[in-house]
Amino acid sequence: ARTNETSGDKSASDSDRAYASRRREHKVKLHKAVMGNQKLKWTGEEEEALLAGIAKHGPGKWKNILRDPEFADQLIHRSNIDLKDKWRNLSVPPGNQGSNYKARPIKVKEEGVTPPPVTIVDNINPPPIVKPIIPPVPSIQRNDLINDESFNIVVDTKNAPRYDGMIFEALSSLADANGSDVSSIFHFIEPRHEVPPNFRRILSSRLRRLAAQSKLVKLQNFYKIPDPSGTRTPAPKPKETHVKPRQSNNQASAISQQMIDEASITAACKVVEAENKIDIARVAGEEFAKITKLAEGSEHLLVIANEMHEQCSRGETVVLACV
């Protein structure tokens, strides 16, 4: 009985020791799985095996890399966390950690080994940003532009004298007795001078304004320089004896004369605009007449085609004669 009790106590103690050993192994495995193995220095073979495993399985597949027989022998002392940390360190290029990056000192648990000095980069001054100098764009001041309300064209007053000179040069060179139209003047000026893209509209506006100011003679849609022989000689001024006009009368007469001139210019512009509208209406009427004739001809052809179709459907012979 005592022998049986002794053997039973031994077997119980052996089972307790085996259970405790399994518990310790389980704790070690859990510690390795959570915290990783002891941080040993990576060897060249381990780094090559890690890079080859990433190239084969892809980053993040740490379990597959560790289970792969091709890399299991080299990475036997490494865990998932070790592979992940090493790959993160290899992925960060030197010098690109950022301005707030600080290198962490390496923890060495072996006694008698001093860690290598670590240089801490506090601030990395970025290179200065150089902004290109853009020259200011020359802009036309608002007071240098006038809006011709009768033609809805903005005219540059600074270039108006230059445009007038081009117009007089073109009319003098063309020297047509009946005058020159807008197209002829435009084709004369365009190859000889530098003009804006909308110069044709500006040219038409300037021609109408010069005609309204009696600086040019307008005959239908043609313009020419007035004959100097036909200009009137200024009438002699009457003697101002016994006449003492007041300053207010002079101002009133000047204002009234200015209003008359502006009214005459506006009326002339309106007349020119009305003539242009009449010409446009006439051209539209001609086009309408042409379209009406074409429609009538199309109706006749349709009637003939229907008759020919009916004859052919009845089996009759259709004879076409060339006229």
Whichever domain contains 183, its CATH number is 1.10.10.10
Output phi, psi for 148, to 5 deg: -80, 100
In a domain, 255, yes or no: no
In a domain, 275, yes or no: no
pLDDT number for residue 94: 57
| 67: CATH | 1.10.10.60
More confident residue, 8 or 131: 8
Burial class (CB in 10 A: 0-12, 13-18, 19+), 170: buried
pTM confidence score: 0.27
SS3 sequence of 28-96: HHHHHHHHCCCCCCCCHHHHHHHHHHHHHHCCCCHHHHHHCHHHHCCCCCCCHHHHHHHHHHHHCCCCC
Q: Are residues 145 and 223 in the same domain?
A: yes
Question: In which residue are the tokens 């940003």 written?
Answer: 129
In a domain, 125, yes or no: no
In a domain, 198, yes or no: yes
The domain in which residue 188 lies consists of 141-228
Q: Which of 185, 210, 228 is the last residue of a domain?
A: 228
Q: Which of 228, 262, 284 is the last residue of a domain?
A: 228
Which of 32, 30, 66, 37 has the alpha carbon at shortest distance from 50?
66
Query: Tokens in use for 160?
Result: 């108006």
pLDDT number for residue 95: 56
Q: Which of 197, 228, 259 is the last residue of a domain?
A: 228
Number of domains the chain is built from: 2
Contacts of 116 (CB under 8 A, 6+ apart): 106
In a domain, 103, yes or no: no
In a domain, 124, yes or no: no
Confidence of residue 264 (pLDDT cuts 50, 70, 90): confident
How many residues are given for the chain?
323
* Residue range 85-101, pLDDT digits in tens: 988 988 876 555 544 44
pLDDT number for residue 291: 94
Residue 199 reports pLDDT greater than 80? yes
